[in-house]
Structure 1
Amino acid sequence: MSRGFSFKQFHVNDLGCGMPISTDGVLLGAWAAMPQQGRVVDIGTGSGLLALMAAQRTSTLTLPITIEAIEIDPQAAAAARQNFINSPWHQRLQCIAQDVTEWRHTQPPNSVNAIVCNPPYFNFGQQAEQSHRATARHTDTFSHQQLLKTLQWLLTEEGIASIILPSYEGQRLIEAAAEYHLHCIERCDVQSTEKKAPIRLLLQLSKKKQICNSSHLCIHKDGDYSIEFKALTKEFYLKM
């Protein structure tokens, strides 16, 4: 039986990937900024979820959008490629099995219109026993400084990078971004319930400095998904 998760327009098999399908990934894929044309890059694609969501969200645009998914782990890259082949948008999707810190130097600077990334975020603590899971979860192989360097190199002047991180790590990334001439232009604090403190930050970074627009999203309310969460994810989840 195929392992994974079925969405309204595609299925993701995440067998062999370091991180399974998660609410974090779906939130980011639905919330991330998408361009009207050009290139979208998914850094650390894993099973290909964010790239597939980007392909769905840009499928009705008149001008073509190409989506490049970068994945360091060969097993995850193989899963992503198969998920792309099985999707309605296989002609616009490409998976590249390479370390993004090496791949970026093969790309022209200022050439990517949008980047999506659900990066590793554990800076300390016991690592997962499986190496591919550790790579997906810990910053040893891809630090947040390396992420910021990559964004600074790849993004166009009008480009936007969309990221999800735990609240503490997200705040530290915002503070570190200025060193790379990147600015937080959109911030959404995500709560699991109204009574709990935010657990995640959805962030949009850009080279263009402007006032940051702040918002909040609560996932659960009154024993169900909140109206806001349903509105954000309804084009993807089967039962929304």
Structure 2
Amino acid sequence: MTEVFKFKEFEVQQSQSAMKIGTDAVLLGAWINIPESTQSILDVGAGTGILGLQMAQRSFAETIDAVELDSAAYEECVDNFENSPWGDRLFCYHFDFKNFSKEMDEKYDLIISNPPFFKVSENISTEERNTARSQSELSFEELLKGVNQLLTLTGNFAVVIPYEREKEFIEMATQFNLFPNQILNVRGQFNSKIKRSLINFCREKSSIEIDELTIEISRHNYTTEYIELVEDFYLKM
């Protein structure tokens, strides 16, 4: 795994972060609808800072914050923010999101997260990866509770989760006055099962726009739809 991942408009150092650059985060950052009125964005569980950097490239939001618990990932995220063209708009907090959401007075127009979703009992290769990708540090309920506290009344919350947990997550979100209005179901290839759900939530109930995306026709032979979605970021497609 390369320690520096080069995108079209920025680079991401990833030698310290337990979770490296992956398709989930890049897809979410490319897919999210960002209204022109969006002035403040928060990324929960920043890791390398990839989502914050994507938001900076795609928007004119004056405030793009991130929160990251792991010390090594936090330091790497800060470096990636400072070395980007948008360092003046990006800031990362070294904080536990459960406490951050209680203590932060500011509200955000858009909150995004590629959250931990492996259950603690599942076998994950390293302790750091376990923390970054398990719900031992931040459960779905804790994530949604914090989002509810920090999201503006007209704001949006976007997340990527395993497809098999889509129904559970949506039902849980309604308890925090968050309702889905857009869903993108993602499968690797045409003959493979749906693997991920990208979901956008808002404060008001409405009809749900549901789409589907297939990433590859065959290994490294990408679909037109996938290329069009991520082409502003990846150097080679």
Give, in angstroms, the shift of residue 124 of structure 1: 4.3
Identical amino acids, percent of aligned pairs: 33
CA distance in 2, matches of 1:198, 1:96: 34
Question: Which residue number corresponds to residue 54 of structure 2?
Answer: 53
Number of positions where the alignment pairs a residue of Structure 1 with one of Structure 2: 234
- 1:219 aligned counterpart, secondary structure: strand
CA distance in 2, matches of 1:217, 1:126: 27
* Structure 1 residues 115-126: aligned runs within 5 Å: 115-126=111-122
Question: Which residue number corresponds to residue 95 of structure 1?
Answer: 92
- 1:78 aligned counterpart, secondary structure: helix
Question: Which residue number corresponds to residue 233 of structure 1?
Answer: 230
CA distance in 1, matches of 2:215, 2:56: 24
What runs of 5+ residues in structure 2 fail to find an aligned partner?
A: none
Question: Which residue number corresponds to residue 68 of structure 1?
Answer: 65
The superposition leaves residues 208-229 of structure 1 with CA deviations (integer Å, 9 ceiling, x where unpaired) of 1111110001101255100000
CA distance in 1, matches of 2:159, 2:62: 20
Question: Which residue number corresponds to residue 21 of structure 1?
Answer: 21
Give, in angstroms, the shift of residue 129 of structure 1: 5.2
Question: Which residue number corresponds to residue 167 of structure 2?
Answer: 171
CA distance in 1, matches of 2:122, 2:29: 28
Pair 1:209 & 2:220 matched: no
- 2:194 aligned counterpart, secondary structure: coil
Question: Which residue number corresponds to residue 105 of structure 2?
Answer: 108
Counterpart residue identity of residue 23, structure 2: T
Give, in angstroms, the shift of residue 21 of structure 1: 0.4
Report the TM-score when normalising by structure 2. 0.94
Report the TM-score when normalising by structure 1. 0.93
* Structure 1 residues 139-154: aligned runs within 5 Å: 139-154=135-150
Give, in angstroms, the shift of residue 127 of structure 1: 4.3
Root mean square deviation of aligned Cα: 1.5
CA distance in 2, matches of 1:192, 1:171: 20
Does the 8 Å contact 2:120/2:136 carry over to 1?
A: no
Note closer, same or farther for the CA distance 1:91–1:140 as it changes in structure 2 (3 Å cut).
Answer: same
Does the 8 Å contact 1:46/1:77 carry over to 2?
A: yes
Does the 8 Å contact 2:81/2:87 carry over to 1?
A: yes
Question: Which residue number corresponds to residue 39 of structure 2?
Answer: 38
CA distance in 2, matches of 1:220, 1:165: 20
What runs of 5+ residues in structure 1 fail to find an aligned partner?
A: none
Greater Cα offset, 203-212 or 219-228: 219-228
CA distance in 2, matches of 1:136, 1:169: 18
Does the 8 Å contact 1:191/1:217 carry over to 2?
A: yes
Note closer, same or farther for the CA distance 1:35–1:105 as it changes in structure 2 (3 Å cut).
Answer: farther
CA distance in 2, matches of 1:73, 1:178: 29
